[in-house]
Structures are given as C-alpha cells and as structure tokens.
Structure 1
Amino acid sequence: MEATEGAATEIATIAFYHRVIVASILIGASIIGLFGNTLVIISVLITKKLRTITNILVVNLAIADFLTCACLPFQVIGFLSQTGSYPLPEGVCATVAAVLHTCLVCSASTLVVIGFIRRYVITRSIRGHQGFHTPKKIATVAVFIWMESAAFMVLPPVLGIGRLGYSSFYGMCAFIGYTRMALYYVASQGIFIATILMLTLIFYGLILRHVLRHNKQFRGKFAVDKDTSVSSTEGHQNKASTSDSPLPMIKAINQKEIEITKNVFTVVCLFIVCFLASSVNFIIPGSSVSTLYGYMIMLTNSVVNPIIYGLKHPNFQEAFKKILCCRRAPQEFVSN
C-alpha cells in the first residue's frame, strides 16, 4: 500500500527480474480482475435474484476491485522502467498511487462490513433485519467507506508526512516518506490491516458458532418430534406423518449451513493470505524484496472474489452463464 525509503536506498533498486515477475503476475491479474468484476457488477444490475440489500456491498467491493485492476497496467509500466523514473507524467503515477491506496482500503473495509452484515442477517429473524438492513442505510455505509478510504489517502500528503509518486527503489507508484513520522504512518497502516483481519475472523467466527448452535437445536428438536411421533397411537398416524415431514426441510437447512460455512471459510482464508504478508511488512517497515511480493499478493485479492462467486454462489453462477452465453435471461431473472 505504501513504501518508505531512506536517502541511501533511493539510489539502489530492487533487482529487475523481481520486478518483471511481479509485473507479469499483475498484468494477468488485471485482465482477469477487470473481466471478473465487470461480470459481478453486470450480474447484480440485470439479475433480479441478485439485487439484494447485502449485494449493494458486494457491488461496492467489485467497483473497488475493478478500479484497482484498472490501475495495475500503469503500475506495470513503472515496474518495467529501467531509467529510474516513471515513463509517464508524474501526475499519472501520483493518481495511480492515490486510486490504489483508496481502493485497497475500501476493499478491506467493505469485506469487514460484509462480515458484520452477514452476521446481523444470519443471527436475527427476517423481521428483525429491517432496523439496519435497509437499502438506504447500506448505501450510506458504502458512501462512508469511500469517504474513510479517501481520507486515509489524502491526509498524509496534506500533513506533510510524505507524498504520492514514483518509488525508484521498488519501481512502483506508492506513498513515499523519508521522515520518522512517515514510518509511523506506514506502521499504522499495518496495524489497520491486522485489525481488519482480526475483525473479519471475529465476525465469521461468530457466524460459524451461530450456524453450529442453530444446527444442533434443529437436530435436538427433530429427535424429540420423531420420538413423539413413534409413540403416538394408531388414531394419530396422520399427525405422526406430519411430524415426520420436516426431515427433508431440516436436511436442506443443514446442507445450506454447510455450504455457507465452506464459502465463509474460503473467503476468510484467501483474505488472510492476500493481506497478512503486507500487514507484517507495514508493521515492521523496511525496503526489501518481501515488501514488493507482499504488495503484489495484496493486489491479487482484487481478482479472487469474482472467482469465489463463480465457483460457490449458485445465483452468480447462473447469471455468469447467461451473460457469457449471450442468452436472454428468463423472466424471473429480469426486473420488471
């Protein structure tokens, strides 16, 4: 997210072959991410089943990831430069750094809010949602996330802590600081990312605990109902048959909970993998190859979410197929 440099390290550069490796991966990630996040946005816009309140945040995440992927080719230009300067105007590089910084903070913050919203929805009855879970309020949260993310980008240059521009050491557009205050700022970003990871784990851990507890309650209730139905007299066989009927429903609920748990586990694991390395590097800042690769891994997080939706989410799967096959969606998929 940011890079700190000392006067001595500014003369040196990361080995060019490291930058070529990172550039090659990021250009591939850019192509996949632009395509995947575009699919997500279009799917939500044209598919009635996907136009849910929670998916407002999913679209918000997709927009942030789309902008990140759109900036990656401009980062690649910097990585492949061997002149020690950015080939395009410096303002372009500063803009790229600003957009990437804002979008990465927005993406991480949105994931945490999605975790909170999912816990709020899952742990309460449908009627209990409406106090907070409304389109207007969720849209307001999305706007606030962008404002908070932009503030993280604007404040350091305004306060004179550092500047946005080209880091000749790393060969990329980033936040550049030479003062001790800049080191504190970069370390605070690492603490922020670590906090994001912790909050995400807490929210999804609470979801998992609720799912397991809910599952156990259903099993216990069904066991009691089944015992009652077996001991019923011959005259109550119809009633016994009725009490047996929840079995398919309970099995379906259990299967749905298992799928939700798997999806949550996948999202959390990929999120941790993409952000943990950078978090460690920012908490203990320094100029090293590991910082470059950690930054690369963090940027690839903008690619993985559409892949998860395509592989794990049935409604997104169906919408993706309709778009890719250029087939007209059925009436239930199109808004009136």
Structure 2
Amino acid sequence: MNATGNNTYVIPFHHRATVASILIALAVIGICGNGLVIVSVIVTKKLRTVTNILVVNLAFADLATCLIQPFLSLGLLSNAGRYPLHEVVCSAVAGAMFTCICCSASTLFAIAVLRWYVITRSVHGHQGIHTPRKIVLLVMIIWIYSLTFTVLPTVLGAKALGYSRYYSSCLLVDSNPFYIYSQGSSLVIVFILIVLFYILILRHVLRHNRQIRNVIGVVDGGRSFTTDDCPNATSSVSREGRPLKIKGINKMEIEITKNLFIVVCVIEICFLIHSVNLIIPGQSIATLYSYMILLTNSVVNPIIYGLKHPNFQEAFKSILCRRQLEHDVKT
C-alpha cells in the first residue's frame, strides 16, 4: 500500500487504475446496452408488456449506474489524496450509486414476485396486481424505498457518504460497522427470497406437467387431449366421463421467466460477492474489486436479452439495422 503526504494509507495506484479502466469500459457498454433496452420497449409493440415495465425500470437504474461510474473513476485515478471535484459531488455520486443499486435489487425482487404470480395463478390480461397502473405504482414505491434506504441512515448518523481516502473513491465513510454488516446481510436475504420464488415457479411448472401426463394417461374415448386445441386451457374426458380441466401455462411466459432467472443468477453472483465481503470486517484491496464486480451487474441484462430473448433480439436488430441504413443513405 502507498501513503499520501498525510500518512494516510491508500490502495496502490495500479490496482485503482485497473478498476477505473474496467469501470469506464463497463460504463460505455452499459449506457449503450441499457439505452437499447429502454428504446426497444418504447418502439416495439410486442415488448410493451406489464413485466417489461419493471424491466425498463431495472434498465433505467442500471443506465444511471453506468453514467455515474466515470465519476467514480475520477477519484480512483487521483493521487492528490482528495476527490478532484467538490466534496459535495463525491457525496452525491456515492448516494446516487447506492440508491440505484438498491433499486436494482428491489426491482429484481419485484420481478420474481410478479413472475410467480403470473405463472402460478395463470394470469392473463389485466387481472389482480398484474395491471400497468399498479406496476407503475410499484416502481414509484421502489424508488422511494431506495432513496429512503440511502438517505435515512445518513440523516440518523449511521453512515456518511463521501470520499474514502483508503479506496480513493466515493463510498461509505465513517460508517457504523453494524450498519455495514446489516446492509450485507439484507442483500443476502433479499436474493435468497428471490431464488425461493423462482423455486416455487419451477415446482409449479413441474407439477403442472405431471398433471397433464396423468390426464393423458386416463383419457379413454371421447375427445382426446391435445395441447393444440387451446394454448391456455385444456380439457379432456376421464374414464368415468367426467371432464378434466387444467389451466395451461403460456409457453412464452415460461421462456420470459427462464431469461429473467438467468439475469437474476448472474446479478446474484455480483451482489453476493460484495455482500460477503461487506460482512468480513476490515479494509482490503478485495473490497475494491468486489465493488467493481458489484457494478458489473449494470451491463449483464442487455447482453442476456440479446442472446436469449427472441423479442428483444428482433427489436435490437431492427433498431441497429435502421440506424445503419440511415447512415448509409446519408453517406
């Protein structure tokens, strides 16, 4: 470790330069990718679904995170022992960063609950909580909660946001150790709950498929069971002549859930590494790298959508090809 003129130990410059370079690269990728996700949902009719309201909110939080990352890099690349800009800017950057991270985690939890509700209740159309107005209200609540989660502990003196001389970045400074441990623990609990909801979804789908196989096995005469008759509801006749009705699960809903689960798995790795590091007491270079891994979550969503989601693939190609065509026409 190096020491400044004030005998304050700081992380060596080559570690900080490495992290700063990666954050700048991630910022460029994330701004383009998340911006593309938001534009795709706006201009593509097939993507204007209730679930995608939360997906856009997640993309917006990630986009804001990427826009903030260059300001973090300024501090990492500084050897002056202070933030290059005003201290208030650094505090605002740290506050905005933690608010966006909290918003991302809360949105992922809301998506998991909504997916569970849609799949297990076989919800179609605008029923129950699955309405645009209620989801928009939920988005507002998520942002209010995220802002409160960041600001309230600062007001109560549990933490302070500003420039950390040790990490040469805008982070928590002079924080209550109990708050840091509770923050790491709360993130772990949230993601355990998210996984639990996806396990419940998997359990429901497996049980549903088993019911269909049982129905097919008891069909004898009458109208035979076929999945082509109706994609969302199926019926058949049992040996006793009693109609058997099973609510179907929309295949597209299952594919959407699979893609979102992949997103959650990747992001959980990013969050859990940093959360475990928060629980471990003391300062270390590992904390800086775990923070970098945490910020990596802001770029994974557009990549996974582009690789796995057919509707987003189509929208991405349409937008990018249109821009390329317009560029060729102008030249």
What TM-score comes out, normalization by structure 1 length? Answer: 0.83
* 1:13 matched residue in structure 2: 10
Does 1:267 find its partner at 2:281?
no
Aligned counterpart in structure 2 of residue 200 of structure 1, from 194, 200, 222: 194
Aligned-partner Cα distance in 2 for 1:177–1:65: 27
Q: Does 1:315 align with 2:311?
A: yes
1:209 matches 2:206: no
Letter in 2 for 1:219: R
Distance 1:257 1:223, change over 3 A: farther
Q: Which residue identity lines up with residue 49 of structure 1 in the other structure? A: K
1:325 counterpart = 2:309: no
Match of 2:242 in 1: none
Task: Note if 1:138 corresponds to 2:135.
Answer: yes
Matches within 5 A, 1:128-207: 130-177=127-174, 182-207=176-201
Cα distance in 2 between the residues matched to 1:123 and 1:199: 17
Deviations 1:193-217 (A, max 9, x none): 1111111111111111111111222
CA-to-partner distance for each residue in 1:29-55, whole Å, 9 max, x for gaps?
101100010011111111111111111
* 1:220 CA displacement: 2.5
Instruction: Tell me how far apart the structure 2 counterparts of residues 132 and 257 of structure 1 sit (CA, whole Å).
Output: 16
Equivalent residue for 2:104? 107
CA RMSD across the alignment: 2.6
Q: In structure 1, what is the Cα distance between the partners aligned to 2:228 and 2:71?
A: 57
Equivalences for residues 12-51 of structure 1 within 5 A: 12-51=9-48
Instruction: Check whether the contact 2:30–2:62 (CA below 8 A) recurs between aligned residues.
Output: yes
Letter of the 2:179 partner, please give it: Y
Taking CA–CA contacts closer than 8 Å with sequence separation of 6 or more, which of the two structures ends up with the larger relative contact order?
Answer: 1
Give the drift of 1:91.
1.6
Q: Is the contact made by 1:187 and 1:282 (CA closer than 8 Å) also made in structure 2?
A: yes
Q: Quick one: which amino acid aligns to residue 108 of structure 2?
A: L
Q: Which residue of structure 2 aligns with residue 222 of structure 1? A: 216
Please state which structure has a larger fraction of its residues in helix: 1
Unaligned runs of 5+ in 1: 1-8, 233-238, 329-336
* Worse overlay, 45-54 or 125-134: 125-134
* Change in 2 beyond 3 A, CA 1:65/1:17: same
Deviates more, 1:58-67 or 1:255-264: 255-264
Distance 1:51 1:80, change over 3 A: same
Q: Which runs of 5+ in 2 are unaligned?
A: 1-5, 233-247, 325-331
Structure 2 equivalent of residue 306 of structure 1: 302
SS at match of 1:72: helix
Distance 2:273 2:206 in 1: 31
Return the alpha-carbon distance in structure 1 between the equivalents of residues 323 and 77 of structure 2: 41
In structure 2, what is the equivalent of residue 297 of structure 1?
293
Partner residue in 1 for 2:238: none
Q: 1:10 to 1:111 in 2, by over 3 A?
A: farther
Is the aligned partner of 1:121 residue 2:118?
yes
User: How many Å separate the matches in 2 of 1:105 and 1:294?
Assistant: 16
1:248-307: CA deviations, max 9, x gaps? Answer: 969x97976874564254223202211111111222332111111111111110100111
Q: Between Structure 1 and Structure 2, how many residues are aligned? A: 304
Question: Which of 256, 260, 279 in structure 1 is aligned with 2:275?
Answer: 279
Mapped partners of 1:264, 1:207: distance in 2: 12
CA contact under 8 A between 1:10 and 1:169: conserved in structure 2? no
**Contact 1:165–1:176 (CA<8 Å) still a contact in 2?**
yes
> CA, structure 1 residues 50+160, in 2 after alignment: closer, same or farther (shift >3 Å)?
same
8 Å Cα contact 1:22-1:296 kept in structure 2: yes
Alpha-carbon distance in 1 for matches of 2:7, 2:214: 66
SS in 2 for 1:133: coil
Matched residues, percent identical?
A: 56
Change (3 A) 1:10 1:314: farther
* 1:137-163 Cα deviation digits (max 9, x unpaired): 111110011011001111122112332
